[in-house]
Amino acid sequence: MGAKAPAVQTLAGHSYNRRALALFDRALVRVLPAVPRPVVRRLAGRYIAGTELADACAVVRGLNERGKKATLDVLGEEVQRHEEAVAIRAEYERAMAAIDEEGLDANVSVKLTALGLKVDPALCGESVRALVRLAAGQGRFVRIDMEDSSTTTATLDLYRELRAEGHDNVGVVVQAMLRRTPEDVADLLPLQPNVRVCKGIYVEPSEVAYQGYETVRFNFVETMAALWDGGAKVAVATHDEWLVAEALRMIDERGLGFDRYEFQMLLGVREDLADELVREGHTLRVYVPYGKQWYEYSLRRLQENPKIAGYVAADTLRRLRP
C-alpha cells in the first residue's frame, strides 16, 4: 500500500466543494424522517449487525472467519432513565457471555452515557467496573468510547480511576479534532495506555475542536506519534486511506510490533481497505453495533453529523453502479 498524498486541489476549490457537499448532506438529513423505516433499515443494514445478540454473534463469526477481530457495541446512548442504564449493562453482560461461550475473537466498546453517566454517574462507574472485571475473567478487553466534549473529562477521569485500581484490560479513546487532545495524551502517557485514536464524530464548536479537514488529519498523525513515542498501544481507527498509509509509515519507521498497534474500522465501511490490511498481515478490528435502537441511533447520528449521510449516499450509489 503506497503512501498516497491527499488529493491535490486548489484551496478555493477545496472549500467550495466542501461547502456544497455540506449543503447536500444537510438536505439529505432533513428528508430522512420522511423515508419509510424499511428503506432506512436497508440502508442502515450494512452498518448495523441487527437487532439481536444472535445477529451480532453471526456477524462477528463471519468477520473472524475472514481474519478480522471485532468489538461489540450495544446501541443506546444518552439514556434518560436509571432502568435503561441497568438494561444496557445487562445486555453487555449477556453479550460478553455469548462471545466467550462461542469462542469469538471480540471484545466490547461501551459508551458511558448509555451506562448512565448523565443520570447516575456512580451507577455508571460501577457498571463499567463490573464489565471490566467480567472481561478480565475472560482474558478480554473493554474499550470506553469517547462521546461529545461535555463527557471528555469524566470519561478520562473514570479511565484513570480504573487504572489506579489495577484494571489493565481497559482502554480509552482520544479524538484528533479536539484542541485538548495533546494535553490529554501527555497526561495519559505515564499509564502506558491502550488508546484508540479517531478523528471524532461529534459536531463541536470551534473553541473546542479544529474544523479544518487537513488540521484534523495533521493532529491525528501528531497524536499517534506522541502515543507511540511515549510507549502506548494505539488502535488506529480511520477509513481515511491517507491516514492509514501515514500510520503504516510510522509503524515501519519505529519498527513497532503487533503488541503496539491495530487498525480499526466501522462495520460495512471501506471493507476493501480493511481486507487489504488483513492480507498484509496487520491486526484489524471491526466495530460492530447492534440493538433494538438501531433506528433512533441511525437517525440521531445522521442529524448530529450530516457528513455521514453524504458518505452513506455516495457509498450506496457506488454499490448500485454496475
Ligand X SMILES: Cc1cc2nc3c(=O)[nH]c(=O)nc-3n(C[C@H](O)[C@H](O)[C@H](O)COP(=O)(O)OP(=O)(O)OC[C@H]3O[C@@H](n4cnc5c(N)ncnc54)[C@H](O)[C@@H]3O)c2cc1C
- Residue 145: active-site member: yes
277 binds ligand X (CB under 6 A): no
Q: Which is nearer to ligand X, 16 or 137 (CB)?
A: 16
| Grid cell digits, residue 141 | 478487553
Chain-centroid distance of CA 66 in Å reads: 20
Residue 169: enclosing H or E segment and its boundaries?
none
Q: Which of residues 148-187 bind ligand X (CB under 6 A)?
A: 173, 175
68 binds ligand X (CB under 6 A): no
Distance in angstroms (rounded) separating the CA atoms of residues 116 and 221 = 33
- Residue 66: active-site member: no
Distance in angstroms (rounded) separating the CA atoms of residues 2 and 271 = 18
Question: Of the listed 25, 73, 140, 145, which one is catalytic?
Answer: 145
Distance in angstroms (rounded) separating the CA atoms of residues 141 and 106 = 9
For the chain, state the CA radius of gyration: 19
| Grid cell digits, residue 98 | 455469548
287 binds ligand X (CB under 6 A): yes
E strand residue ranges, the chain: 69-74, 106-110, 142-144, 170-175, 194-198, 233-237, 261-266, 284-290
107 binds ligand X (CB under 6 A): no
265 binds ligand X (CB under 6 A): yes
237 binds ligand X (CB under 6 A): yes
The residue within the footprint of ligand X, chosen from 104, 198, 227, 277 (CB under 6 A), is 198
In sequence order, which ranges of 77-174 are alpha helices (DSSP H)? Answer: 82-101, 121-137, 152-164
Distance in angstroms (rounded) separating the CA atoms of residues 100 and 140 = 9
Q: Which is nearer to ligand X, 132 or 265 (CB)?
A: 265
92 binds ligand X (CB under 6 A): no
21 binds ligand X (CB under 6 A): no
Q: Which is nearer to ligand X, 67 or 82 (CB)?
A: 67
Q: Please, what is the minimum distance in Å from the beta carbon of residue 122 to ligand X?
A: 23
Question: Of the listed 143, 163, 196, 285, which one is catalytic?
Answer: 196
Judged by the rule CB under 6 A, the positions of this chain that interact with ligand X are: 145-146, 173, 175, 198-202, 237-240, 264-266, 269-270, 287, 308, 311-312, 315
